Amino acid sequence: MTRTTTPDTKGAPEMSETFDLNGIDYVEFWVGNARQSAYFYEHAFGFTPVAYCGPETGIRDRASYVLEQGEIRFVFTSAIVPDHPIAEHHALHGDGVHDVALGVPDVDAAWAIATSRGATGAYEPRSASDDDGQVRLAGINTYGETIHTLIDRSGYDGAFLPGYEALPQPAAGERAGIGLRFVDHVVGNTEDMNPWVDFYERVLGFSELAHFTDSDITTEYSALMSKVVQNGDGRVKFPINEPATGKRKSQIEEYLEAYRGAGVQHIALLTDDIIRTVDELHRRGVRFLETPDSYYDAAEERVGQIDEQWADLRRTGVLVDRDDEGYLLQIFTKPVQDRPTVFYEIIQRKGSRGFGEGNFKALFEAIEREQALRGNL
Ligand code: FE2
């Protein structure tokens, strides 16, 4: 069953107070087997497990593993009983993102502002505490069944949240990871992006950064439309996609069918050395979309002088794009679960604040080759 939701922001008061955000606090995935997901992110993506809750810590119905790298914090949670909202979510959507949690300085104020402007609550403000202090949390709904927890952990010293047990930490040198520093952006696929662009603007005080129309991103078979919203200091960037009319099924439509509705499409993770990071990911078995060699012949001409060696880009499959402010390097993984839903982008910025618009066509052609292999084109 596909659930279609649209936010109701009609009648919301005009922006009068700023809605401060401290960035993305964590991303929580609801998955079929959290233990194995944690193993994948530890060994393939170089994350360090930091906290756990489950039967051993007195939680009877689920298990959660918290992993970190740089400022990135991922949580993988599975139900361990059959009749459970997480089990139902997993049955419908497969492995996917449940919560993109946002740090806020004042949860109650943020909740009050958001709900007064038309956000619907996922859960009401509450406190959680243990010997390490107290956190305050509330949740609001966004596209599909995805939520934003609003969290203030300034009064908390523990590993993640009350109820979680800290895991033994490796020596500092062994916690180095593979160079992933923070979440650059989180992209949502929706049936209709404009109500959600409006939601982020009117409810969370974001502003629209840029948009791409289907004339920019059209291939022979499919197209998308995308708009990007970001918060005041640009730390939180959410591109939002919708399908555009193509000759065949677009990759956004394929996602919406496979995920049974709107949800997170990809998470972009920033590195300062993309060649090293992608070499490590390749070595650890992460699979990327393949870049046709001919892409680089055109790219050298299109992009001009860069600090990196073109031979390294060709070897790793990293894409490059330039705009007025500089350039960026990026590469996209294949979906990381059996459904063609969530994937990752690895990105390095050399002055550009864009999203690789010039690469969209090359990317889409690569994605469509994959789609054709699945018989969905
Ligand atoms: Fe992206």
Query: CA dihedral in degrees (114, 119, 122, 128; nearest 10)?
Result: 0
- Distance (Å) from CA 331 to ligand 1 centroid: 9
Mean pLDDT score, 65-87: 97
Torsion of CA 368, 370, 372, 373, to 10 degrees: 170
358/241: higher pLDDT: 241
Q: What is the pLDDT of residues 278-321, one digit of tens each?
A: 999 999 999 998 887 778 877 888 889 999 999 999 999 999 99
How many angstroms does the Cα of residue 345 sit away from the middle of ligand 1? 6
- pLDDT band, very low/low/confident/very high, at 23 (cuts 50, 70, 90): very high
Ligand 1 center from residue 327 Cα (angstroms)? 14
Q: What is the pTM of this model?
A: 0.91
Write out pLDDT tens, residues 243-289: 887 656 788 999 999 999 999 999 999 999 999 999 999 999 999 98
On the question of pLDDT at 45 being above 90, the answer is yes
Distance 98 CA to ligand 1 centre (A): 19
Phi, psi of 114 (to 5 degrees): -65, -45
**CA 275-277-281 angle, 5° bins:** 115
Comparing 23-166 with 180-374, is the CATH topology the same? yes
- Give distance in angstroms: CA of 239 to centre of ligand 1: 8
Which percentage of the chain shows pLDDT scores above 70? 87
Q: What spacing in Å lies between the alpha carbon of 186 and ligand 1's midpoint? A: 7
Task: Please name the fold of domain 23-166.
Answer: 2,3-Dihydroxybiphenyl 1,2-Dioxygenase; domain 1 (3.10.180)
Main-chain dihedrals φ then ψ at residue 42, nearest 5 degrees: -70, -50
pLDDT band at 13 (very low <50, low <70, confident <90, very high): very low
How many angstroms separate the alpha carbon of residue 358 from the centre of ligand 1?
A: 12
For residue 330, the CA-to-ligand 1 centroid distance in Å is 8
Domain 180-374 has CATH 3.10.180.10: yes
**Lowest-pLDDT choice from 13-22, 109-118, 234-243:** 13-22
Domain map of the chain by residue range? Answer: 23-166, 180-374
Of the listed ranges 68-72, 203-207, 299-303, 337-341, the one predicted with least confidence: 299-303
- Asked if pLDDT for residue 15 goes beyond 50, the answer is no
